[in-house]
Structure 1
Amino acid sequence: MNTILLPVDLSSSTGLLYEKAVSMAKAFASTVYLIHVVIPNEDTSSKDKKEMGREFADESQALNRLATGLRDEGIETHALLMEGVASKVILEEAKRLGADLIILGSHGHGALVGTLMGDVSQAVTRETSCPVLIVPTRS
């Protein structure tokens, strides 16, 4: 397993996914590609350009902190901050990178598949030919 794709939303559940990626990457001497997808169609009419720039900078810094942490663990890591529809970008990057594994989180709120896995997790697992590890992230 050479390449692990780790999509993160930078929420409180990111730590659980990060820890799983560390253990998998160390076990298989894998390279980790962190990816955070920014939604381009967000309504920005009530935000000024400085506020939007700060949000983007904050997300970039958070992603780079995660990447630095993985590198400090001795794991080759690349951070990707991209724009688009999350599930589509994840699928495209997994294919482009030749990912051997995608690590995603699940919400675990109920018994139905749509509520067990978020929309992004569900779309990725349905469309990819790459193995997906679903990590429960509910508190």
Structure 2
Amino acid sequence: MKILLPVDGSECALRAVDHLIAHAAWYREVPEIHLLHVHPPIPIGRVQAHVGEDTLKAYYLEESQASLLAAQQKLDAAGRFHTTHIHVGQPAEIIAKMAKDLGCDLIVMGTHGRGAVAGLVMGSVANRLLHSAPCPVMLVR
């Protein structure tokens, strides 16, 4: 079983990591875990005039690694092997694409994260993903 675990460093995302670890026995076989962080793109426009492409890539990498660190530590402490992925783009779109490209059987994620705009009941990323995901989505509050 392949599980995509998108995280943004928020407490809610870390609860999804904890849930997956705590309920690993639900799965017949040891799940193949793909940990994903999607960094929203910085509007390019004038930024490119002042910041080089290499600097921008380094920024995305540094910020993404910081957002992944707590989830990686939790999975490592639980002895759960995982593959880490970092992408830049619109989170819901990238999560759905990664789930499809990796052939994931399940997406496990928090209901809301650090996004500036959130839905009333659940985060806007989770809400959009429910409409575009190629596999079941388990939302953890």
Q: TM-score range by the shorter chain?
A: 0.7 to 0.9
Residue pair 1:25, 1:75 contacting (<8 A) in 2 also: no
> 1:94-135 CA distances to partner (integer Å, 9 max, x unpaired)?
01111111112224xxxxxx4212111111111123111111
Residue 4 of structure 2: aligned partner: 5
Is the deviation greater in 2-11 or in 72-81? 72-81
Please report the TM-score for the alignment, with normalisation by the length of structure 1: 0.75
Specify every segment of 5 or more residues in structure 2 that has no aligned partner in the other structure, as ranges.
113-118
SS class of match (2:85): strand
1:73 aligns with 2:78: yes
Alpha-carbon separation, structure 1, partners of 2:127 and 2:80: 28
Please report the TM-score for the alignment, with normalisation by the length of structure 2: 0.74
Residue 16 of structure 1: aligned partner: 15
Identity %: 27
Shift in Å, 1:24: 3.4
1:95 corresponds, among 91, 94, 100, to 100
Distance 1:85 1:55, change over 3 A: closer
Residue 85 of structure 1: aligned partner: 90
Match for 2:8: what amino acid?
D
Match for 1:98: what amino acid?
G
SS class of match (1:67): helix
Shift in Å, 1:68: 4.2
Residue pair 2:39, 2:60 contacting (<8 A) in 1 also: no
Alpha-carbon separation, structure 2, partners of 1:26 and 1:68: 20
Count of paired positions: 128
Residue pair 2:107, 2:136 contacting (<8 A) in 1 also: yes
Residue 31 of structure 1: aligned partner: 32
Specify every segment of 5 or more residues in structure 1 that has no aligned partner in the other structure, as ranges.
108-113
Alpha-carbon separation, structure 1, partners of 2:51 and 2:7: 26
SS class of match (2:134): coil
Alpha-carbon separation, structure 2, partners of 1:39 and 1:6: 17
Shift in Å, 1:26: 4.3
Highest relative contact order (Cα 8 Å, sep 6+), 1 or 2? 2
Residue 64 of structure 2: aligned partner: 59
Give the root-mean-square deviation of aligned CA atoms: 2.6
Match for 1:82: what amino acid?
H
Alpha-carbon separation, structure 1, partners of 2:59 and 2:133: 33
> 1:17-61 CA distances to partner (integer Å, 9 max, x unpaired)?
11012123343221211101011234784x867698456314314
